[in-house]
Amino acid sequence: MLEPLVASSDTEYRPAGLLLLGRLAARDKSVEVSKRWFTDAIGADDLEIEIEARLELGRLLADSGDLNGSRQALTPLLEYGDAIRAQAEEMLGELDTAEKRAPPALPPPSPTDTPPTSDTPPPPDVPAVPDAQAGTVKQTSPKEPAPPATAAREGRLAPLPPAVLAALADLAEYEGQLAEAEYWRSVRDGA
């Protein structure tokens, strides 16, 4: 939905789209995807979006255990105004506290501790079926394609997931469209 916007050269709405995609991926607990979108938002030449993306990226990385990555995202915020600097200092202080409380990491296993492994991966667990023409056995795909959704067959659209509706509401609110934000929230809440 937002991918065409973020692929465009639109300088007004693209940074907000990148930030929104990062937030959606974070809600889905997709750390690598949200990290990519937040990083793109940071480099999108919009100071307000960069600050929000750095704060959210720092929080995301800290929650996933990447304290150094979180520090790298948050440290540039120490250069900004008092409120932003205070927020960054608080988060960096929490990182220091968490790092001091964490148990020390185990050393990597020595080569003698690990059992020998083969360089070839195990074969895939795929059922074999006879190939009638060649008289041989061929591998089949383990998954069948899903049938089309009922709503699509009947020519009506399926409802949007709550995370997308919440994201639309957040985007509308960010753009100052409060009535539209309320509409999306009411759709999400089933009102």
> What pLDDT, in 10s, does the model give residues 104-139?
666 666 655 555 555 655 555 555 555 555 555 555
Domain 3-101 falls in which CATH fold?
1.25.40
Domain boundaries, the chain: 3-101, 159-189
pTM: 0.51
Pick out the chain residues at pLDDT < 50: 149-157
- Which contacts of 26-33 are long-range, i.e. CB under 8 A and separated by 24 or more positions? 26/56, 26/60, 27/163, 27/166, 27/167, 28/163, 31/60, 31/61, 31/64
